[in-house]
Structure 1
């Protein structure tokens, strides 16, 4: 029996965020290069997207490439960019078939032109899809995002389009790259690491955090269901007491 059968459909999170960690260590254990791990990590992404679509989740956001990842060896970065282009090209048809819409958050304008072109094509080709929305966090970091939001608000105040008294949490959220997207209720991180790594730090304020030791390429649908099951066992109080709930 699968854990999926024990899930309560009306208690599923609308938005799940995922830090896909462990590709390099997985490859090293098998005596292969880090890119071998990244390529197999793509298969895990496909499994999770398929599971999310089957469960009719609203959003899945995956941390695909951070602003700090540019500091990795050039050979690995170039290979990652090539993998991104080839994966998007190969999977666009599958996304459409599964009614999955692609969105991107992050500084995409600073990505290689080939990546930008393929992303835009996939976004346009899946824009009509009404099921799961897959958010790729590319060239993304939370500190970058928050800084950009502050700049945007400051510019609006400077140009007299916004009064300082109008600035609140809702306005700030609307200026983030996730503006219009509900905050994640659940964040999953694989590989046993226990940190957020500069990922959706504003949006995860009230999210349930789930850490598992499974390396990302080994992450299965069943692992995903287990995370959702764990989420459903938690009491989400948002500052209230249990008695108030």
Structure 2
């Protein structure tokens, strides 16, 4: 049976359909159409909604239930991995290579996926958000080489993760741990990881029912963003600094 979806109006500030109107199959599919302009994207994220579609498809908007999230202050790395970081020469940085991180995420193969959902239009859209100060990346460098990264959207004291990659084994874990460290120290308690998968669950992600997730989003996006959250003094540090973040 064909799925009927609301078509978003031309006004990027127009309200989205209520989240509880999202389809159960596929989980969270809510609406279609519109555009990827900064006002539309920020409007979506403020309501716990994100775009996800493939090349050749219309823009599709999602709000799944439950949601995969990380509590930034409780993020833990496994002890074996933590021990390997103690002598690591890697460095964690933020917002020094945003476009490279997004491109690397687009090029990274994903199990069970043929191609990428990070189209050129998506790269352009998040690049525009980054230049406006709303989208951020955390990068992991081994000397001049980018070995891992993650990017997403920050509003108020809420961060919405979009995608991450590993150029070298462990690169995405360090990027995620580094992002959680930056957010936790800045008073941002929750990181949205969107849809549950085994890899995120293995790193400590938890399922949060959609009503509880949306309540947290509404509260956190309304708070003022932390001053200097992405400044070098807060967001540049050796990966070995994460060696104390352990999970057994």
Query: Above 0.5 in TM-score?
Result: no
Query: TM-score if structure 1 supplies the norm length?
Result: 0.31
Higher relative contact order (CA 8 A, sep 6+): 1
Greater fraction strand: 2
